[in-house]
C-alpha cells in the first residue's frame, strides 16, 4: 500500500515553495525593521515546560499535544507553540542579566493534534515575536503595529483587529469568582465542554463558539469593567497609542485567548473571508510566564501568526506572492556531440552568478525550447553545428522569440547585459 503523509500534514512542492520563501522574506525583513533578531529553539521540549507555561487546563495542553517518551523514558513534546520555549531559552541562557528588553522573532513548524480542516493543520508554521523585559504599553502597541504592518506589506489590507485586556492575577481572581457566580445558575444550558471547564477556567466560556453558551451567560460581567486601576490604565494607554498611530481595533469582551499565560493585553487578528479559521495571528502580554517557568519575574509581550492562513488569504484574494521563480538562461544543445561544451557553458554561466540549466534527457531542439519555456527561462543559448563551426552561439529572448548571434567568447558578457 502507498504510504501517504500523516493526516493534518502536507508537502510543499515547487513552485509553491517559492511563495513560502517570499512570505518568510517579508516576515523577516519587516521584523528586522523593528529591531527583532531571530531565535531558533528545538522542535521538542520537556513536556512539563508546556504544562507549566501554556497551562494544563488549556485545550492545547489537555487535548492537542504530541507527547512521547524517548528511549530513556523522558516525556517530551513536539512544540505546540513557541512562547514557552522562548521563555525557557531566556532563562537557560540568563539573557535576563544582559540588556533588556530583548526582541526575538522565530519562524518554524508547530504541532497540535487538532481536527484538520481548511486553515487548520497538525503540523503548521508560525512566525512570531517575543519581547522580554519591559512593561511599557508602547511595546504592546509595537507588536500589534508590527503584525498589522506585516499584513499590509503582504497586501492584506482588510483585517479585523480584536483587542481586550485579561487583567493581572489580582483582578482576574476576583473577576473569575464573579463570572462563576454569574454562570452557575445557567450551567445546565452550557455545552458539554463549557460545563466541564467553567469552574476551572470560566473565561473560556466567553470565547466558546456555541450560540447556546452565549445566550446562557448573557449580561455577564466583562473583564474590561473589572480591571484593577493599573490594568485599566495599561489597557487605556495601549488603546490610545494604537489610535494615535492610526491602527483601528475592535474592543472585544469575548476575547480571552486559549493559552493560560496571558496578562493584560490580548489580541487577535482576523481576515474575514478565509473560512472558519479566520484568525491569522494572536498574542498578548504574559508578565508571569518567565517566573512560572522558573526564571526571575520578567514581563513579556508577543504574538504569533499562522503562515498557512496567510498564504490561504493571499491565494483567495489573488494577491501576487513575489516574483515567479525561473531561470535566467537555458542552454539548448543541437546534438549530443556538444554535450561537454554545453555542460561547460552552463557551469561558466552559473559561475558568473546566473540561474542556469540544460536538458539531460536527450530531447530534440523543439522539445528543449518547450522545456526552457516551462522552466521560465528568460534567455536560451543555442549551441548548434553551424554555430560551433563559426565560433558563434545564438541567443534567444524567450519572451519575444527574437534571436541574435554572438561570438562564443563574448557570450557571458552579452547575456549579462541582456539580463539587466
Ligand atoms: P495561537 O493563537 O495559539 O497563539 O496561535 C497563533 C496563530 O497560529 C493563530 O492565530 C493561527 O493563525 C495559527 N495557528 C494556530 N493553530 C493552528 C493550526 N492548527 N493550523 C494552522 N494554523 C494555526 C500562540 O501560539 C501564541 N504562542 C502566540 C503568542 C506569542 N502569544 C504571545 N506571544
Least confident of 185-189, 302-306, 321-325: 321-325
Whether the CB of 280 sits within 6 Å of ligand 1: yes
Whether the CB of 53 sits within 6 Å of ligand 1: no
Instruction: Please name the CATH architecture into which domain 16-168+228-316 falls.
Output: 2-Layer Sandwich (3.30)
Q: Which three cell numbers stand for residue 72?
A: 530513556
Strand order in the sheet with 66-69: 44-46, 75-78, 66-69
Flag whether pLDDT at 236 surpasses 90: yes
Residue 307 Cα to ligand 1 middle (Å): 10
Whether the CB of 10 sits within 6 Å of ligand 1: no
pLDDT for residue 117: 96
Q: Classify residue 254 by its DSSP letter.
A: T
Q: Do domains 16-168+228-316 and 329-419 have the same CATH topology?
A: no
CB 84 within 8 Å of CB 124: no
Residue 406 Cα to ligand 1 middle (Å): 56
Residue located nearest, by CA, to atom 8 of ligand 1: 306
Pairing of strands 123-132, 102-111: antiparallel
Residue 370 Cα to ligand 1 middle (Å): 44
Flag whether pLDDT at 209 surpasses 90: no
Query: E strands along 220-328, which residues?
Result: 250-251, 263-270, 279-285, 300-306
Residue located nearest, by CA, to atom 31 of ligand 1: 283
Residues constituting the chain: 420
Residue 272 Cα to ligand 1 middle (Å): 17
Residue 351 Cα to ligand 1 middle (Å): 43
Report the candidate in 47, 109, 52 with the shortest Cα–Cα distance to residue 81: 109
Flag whether pLDDT at 381 surpasses 90: yes
Q: Over the chain, what is the mean pLDDT? A: 96
Residue located nearest, by CA, to atom 21 of ligand 1: 120
Helix (H, G, I), strand (E, B) or coil at 226: helix
Task: Write out pLDDT tens, residues 382-393.
Answer: 999 888 888 999
Helix (H, G, I), strand (E, B) or coil at 192: helix
Whether the CB of 114 sits within 6 Å of ligand 1: yes
Task: Write out pLDDT tens, residues 48-104.
Answer: 999 999 998 899 999 999 999 999 999 999 999 999 999 999 999 999 999 999 999
Domain ranges of the chain: 16-168+228-316, 329-419
CB 86 within 8 Å of CB 106: yes
The best mutation among 111, 270, 304 to test binding of ligand 1, ranked by most ligand atoms within 8 Å of the C-beta, falls on 304
Distance (Å, whole) CA 198 – CA 255: 16
Task: Write out pLDDT tens, residues 125-146.
Answer: 999 999 999 999 999 999 999 9
Whether the CB of 282 sits within 6 Å of ligand 1: yes
Strand partners, 131: 103, 301
Helix (H, G, I), strand (E, B) or coil at 207: coil
Whether the CB of 193 sits within 6 Å of ligand 1: no
User: Which pLDDT band, with edges at 50, 70 and 90, does 323 fall under?
Assistant: confident
Report the candidate in 110, 78, 145 with the shortest Cα–Cα distance to residue 307: 110
pLDDT for residue 283: 98
H or E stretch covering 406: strand 403-407
Residue 303 Cα to ligand 1 middle (Å): 8
The best mutation among 282, 313, 314 to test binding of ligand 1, ranked by most ligand atoms within 8 Å of the C-beta, falls on 282
Residue located nearest, by CA, to atom 9 of ligand 1: 281
Q: Is the peptide bond before 15 cis (omega within 30 degrees of 0)?
A: yes
Pairing of strands 123-132, 356-358: unpaired
Residue 300 Cα to ligand 1 middle (Å): 17
Gyration radius (Cα) of the chain, Å: 28
Q: Which three cell numbers stand for residue 286?
A: 504574559
Least confident of 42-51, 200-209, 291-300: 200-209
Flag whether pLDDT at 170 surpasses 90: yes
Residue 262 Cα to ligand 1 middle (Å): 14
Residue 280 Cα to ligand 1 middle (Å): 8
The best mutation among 102, 118, 283 to test binding of ligand 1, ranked by most ligand atoms within 8 Å of the C-beta, falls on 283
Strand partners, 282: 268, 304
Residue located nearest, by CA, to atom 30 of ligand 1: 303
| Portion of the chain with pLDDT greater than 90, in percent | 92
CB 80 within 8 Å of CB 60: yes
Whether the CB of 126 sits within 6 Å of ligand 1: yes
Residue 292 Cα to ligand 1 middle (Å): 21
User: Which pLDDT band, with edges at 50, 70 and 90, does 324 fall under?
Assistant: confident
Helix (H, G, I), strand (E, B) or coil at 295: coil
Instruction: Please name the CATH architecture into which domain 329-419 falls.
Output: 3-Layer(aba) Sandwich (3.40)
Whether the CB of 128 sits within 6 Å of ligand 1: yes
Neighbours of 302 (CB within 10 A): 27
Ligand 1 nearest-atom number relative to CA 285: 32
Amino acid at each position: 500500500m502507498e504510504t501517504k503523509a500523516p493526516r493534518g500534514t502536507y508537502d510543499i512542492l515547487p513552485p509553491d515553495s517559492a511563495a513560502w520563501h517570499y512570505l518568510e522574506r517579508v516576515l523577516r525583513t519587516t521584523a528586522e525593521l523593528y529591531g527583532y533578531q531571530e531565535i531558533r529553539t528545538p522542535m521538542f521540549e520537556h513536556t512539563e515546560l508546556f504544562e507549566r507555561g501554556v497551562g494544563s487546563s488549556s485545550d492545547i495542553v489537555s487535548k492537542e499535544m504530541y507527547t512521547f517518551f524517548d528511549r530513556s523514558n523522558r516525556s517530551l513534546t513536539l512544540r505546540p507553540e513557541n512562547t514557552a520555549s522562548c521563555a525557557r531559552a531566556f532563562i537557560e541562557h540568563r539573557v535576563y542579566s544582559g540588556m533588556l528588553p530583548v526582541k526575538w522573532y522565530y519562524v518554524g513548524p508547530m504541532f497540535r493534534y487538532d481536527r484538520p480542516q481548511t486553515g487548520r493543520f497538525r503540523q503548521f508554521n508560525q512566525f512570531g515575536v517575543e519581547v522580554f523585559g519591559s512593561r511599557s504599553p508602547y511595546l504592546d502597541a509595537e507588536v500589534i503595529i508590527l503584525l498589522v504592518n506585516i499584513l499590509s506589506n503582504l497586501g492584506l489590507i482588510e483585517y479585523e483587529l480584536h483587542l481586550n485586556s485579561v487583567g493581572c492575577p489580582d483582578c482576574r481572581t476576583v473577576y473569575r469568582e464573579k463570572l462563576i457566580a454569574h454562570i452557575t445558575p445557567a450551567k445546565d444550558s452550557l455545552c458539554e465542554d463549557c460545563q466541564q471547564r467553567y469552574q476551572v477556567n470560566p473565561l473560556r466560556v466567553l470565547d466558546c463558539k456555541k450560540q447556546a453558551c452565549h445566550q446562557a451567560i448573557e449580561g455577564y460581567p466583562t473583564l474590561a469593567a473589572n480591571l484593577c486601576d493599573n490594568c485599566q490604565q495599561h489597557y487605556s494607554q495601549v488603546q490610545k497609542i494604537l489610535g494615535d498611530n492610526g491602527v483601528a481595533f475592535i474592543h472585544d469582551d469575548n476575547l480571552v485567548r486559549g493559552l493560560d499565560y496571558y496578562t493584560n493585553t490580548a489580541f487577535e487578528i482576523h481576515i474575514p473571508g478565509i473560512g472558519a479559521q479566520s484568525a491569522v495571528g494572536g498574542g498578548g502580554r504574559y508578565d508571569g510566564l518567565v517566573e512560572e517557568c522558573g526564571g526571575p519575574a520578567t514581563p513579556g509581550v508577543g504574538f504569533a501568526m499562522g503562515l498557512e492562513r496567510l498564504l490561504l488569504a493571499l491565494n483567495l484574494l489573488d494577491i501576487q506572492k513575489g516574483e515567479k521563480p525561473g531561470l535566467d538562461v537555458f542552454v539548448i544543445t543541437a546534438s549530443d556531440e556538444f554535450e561537454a561544451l554545453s555542460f561547460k557553458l552552463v557551469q561558466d554561466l552559473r559561475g558568473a552568478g546566473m540561474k542556469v540549466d540544460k536538458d539531460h534527457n536527450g530531447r530534440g531542439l523543439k522539445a528543449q525550447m518547450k522545456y526552457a519555456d516551462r522552466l521560465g527561462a528568460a534567455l536560451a543559448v543555442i549551441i548548434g553545428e553551424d554555430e560551433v563551426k563559426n565560433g558563434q552561439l545564438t541567443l534567444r529572448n524567450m519572451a519575444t522569440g527574437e534571436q541574435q548571434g554572438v561570438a562564443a567568447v563574448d557570450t557571458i558578457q552579452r547575456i549579462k547585459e541582456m539580463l539587466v
